[in-house]
């Protein structure tokens, strides 16, 4: 099939009060995409680029942990790792503002694992907004702590509750949890928050967006006063700042700009003249050259599943993740996509929070996101690790 061009044609006209809200959202989206195109077409300006001042060997880590870091082929710390690891090792509270894909998970896991290696009485709690992110944090933690005698538990909804209760009875050093299951286990006395003197709140802005702000405040109220608190968020809004004041004390602040990630992504628009042909247009795109590993975003759980089923009937290797699927089903589809066993992964915004999947060639917004922040989050699933990516948005 001939490769298609995605250069925008004539802009559609919008009008009429009933559609005003959607028109404004489209206009804002167009401004973001146009600004990105202009920036990428201009001659680059020389900027000061942060360069790591440390190697992992400079952090004074134990031999076993260093062996695991080397095995994972970590060579030079990312900017957030270079700045956060020494501060965390000094016992300081920390506020990190960074998107996923900047290496922030390792930035807090490595020094906290070292802390447990040096003192097996230490207990760490990591709270993440979604099951997928919790799973990825737990997986990475186990890789870094291989052979170090560190016990762990993952407390997430949609997974075997009996197994999680059994893991907690073993008094794990590391607990990675989502807010809903953590609250259940606190109320049934499976989890004692007073045991944790090291606490990480990850992707706090997303937890606030999803509606967990009161739960987070409840968790903080149960923590021991003497603790090390690590706080990570892509943005610091008023509500997020409201959590901060009760969580950290005299913190170190590390801020990693997100624009360097977006610069690797070519953004464009696909204009839909006939809504009835929208799936056909997606079909043709997926058959085009280079669409090897494609993440497609839809607005609703029902719509995402319906689209995945339709693509399957058309012969595409496609899978879907959304809130109506059990956790083991979602993880199975994610694993298939990571291994390139399926070409297309369809997802809702909530189900995709925190996904870190390598080599995604394209992100396609089949349905418009609700906000520019959601748009930025979606397209950030491609163009990672300084690789080029393409983000396409369907506009009706």
Q: Can you give the pLDDT at residue 66? A: 96
- Domains delineated in the chain: 17-43+260-395 (3.40.50.300), 56-256 (3.40.50.300)
Six-digit token string for 289: 């050259």
Place of tokens 């739960």: 215
Backbone φ and ψ for 385, nearest 5 degrees, come out as 55, 40
pTM of this structure = 0.68
Backbone φ and ψ for 37, nearest 5 degrees, come out as -65, -40
> Is the Cβ–Cβ distance between 238 and 213 less than 8 Å?
no
Q: Can you give the pLDDT at residue 363? A: 93
Tell me the sheet residues that pair with 294. 344, 362
What are the mean pLDDT values of the chain's consecutive 10-residue runs (396 residues total)?
Answer: 40 35 54 65 53 88 96 89 96 88 90 98 95 90 96 92 95 97 96 97 88 94 96 86 92 76 77 92 94 94 95 95 84 90 91 74 90 78 78 89
* Alpha carbon distance 45, 145 (integer Å): 42
Six-digit token string for 210: 């999803």
Q: Can you give the pLDDT at residue 386? A: 66
Q: Can you give the pLDDT at residue 89? A: 96
* Alpha carbon distance 120, 334 (integer Å): 33
């Amino acid at each position: 099939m001939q490769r298609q061009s995605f250069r925008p044609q004539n802009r559609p006209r919008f009008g009429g009060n009933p559609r005003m809200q959607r028109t404004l959202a489209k206009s804002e989206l167009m401004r973001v995409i146009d600004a990105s195109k202009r920036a990428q077409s201009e001659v680059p300006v020389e900027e000061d680029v942060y360069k790591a001042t440390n190697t992992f060997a400079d952090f004074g880590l134990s031999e076993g942990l260093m062996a695991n870091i080397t095995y994972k082929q970590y060579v030079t710390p990312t900017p957030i790792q270079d700045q956060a690891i020494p501060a965390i090792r000094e016992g300081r509270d920390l506020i990190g503002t960074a998107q996923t894909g900047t290496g922030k998970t390792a930035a807090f896991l490595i020094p906290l694992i070292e802390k447990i290696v040096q003192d097996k009485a230490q207990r760490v709690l990591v709270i993440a907004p979604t099951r997928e992110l919790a799973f990825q944090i737990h997986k990475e933690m186990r890789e870094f702590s291989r052979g170090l005698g560190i016990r762990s538990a993952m407390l997430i909804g949609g997974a075997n509750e009996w197994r999680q209760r059994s893991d907690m009875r073993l008094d794990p050093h590391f607990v990675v949890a989502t807010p809903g299951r953590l609250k259940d286990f606190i109320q049934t006395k499976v989890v004692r928050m007073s045991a944790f003197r090291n606490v990480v709140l990850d992707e706090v802005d997303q937890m606030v967006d999803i509606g967990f702000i009161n739960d987070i405040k409840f968790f903080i109220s149960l923590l021991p006063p003497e603790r090390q608190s690590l706080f990570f968020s892509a943005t610091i809004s008023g509500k997020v700042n409201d959590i901060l004041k009760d969580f950290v004390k005299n913190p170190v602040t590390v801020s990693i700009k997100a624009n360097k990630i977006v610069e690797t992504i070519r953004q464009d628009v696909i204009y839909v003249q006939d809504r009835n042909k929208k799936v056909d247009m997606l079909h043709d795109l997926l058959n085009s050259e280079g669409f090897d590993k494609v993440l497609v975003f839809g607005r609703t759980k029902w719509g995402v599943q319906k689209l995945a089923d339709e693509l399957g009937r058309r012969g595409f290797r496609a899978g879907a993740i959304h809130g109506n699927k059990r956790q083991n089903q979602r993880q199975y589809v994610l694993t298939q996509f990571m291994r390139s066993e399926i070409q297309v992964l369809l997802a809702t915004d909530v189900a995709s929070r925190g996904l870190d999947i390598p080599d995604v060639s394209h992100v396609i917004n089949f349905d418009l996101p609700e906000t520019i922040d959601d748009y930025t989050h979606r397209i950030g699933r491609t163009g990672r690790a300084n690789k080029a990516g393409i983000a396409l948005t369907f506009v009706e």
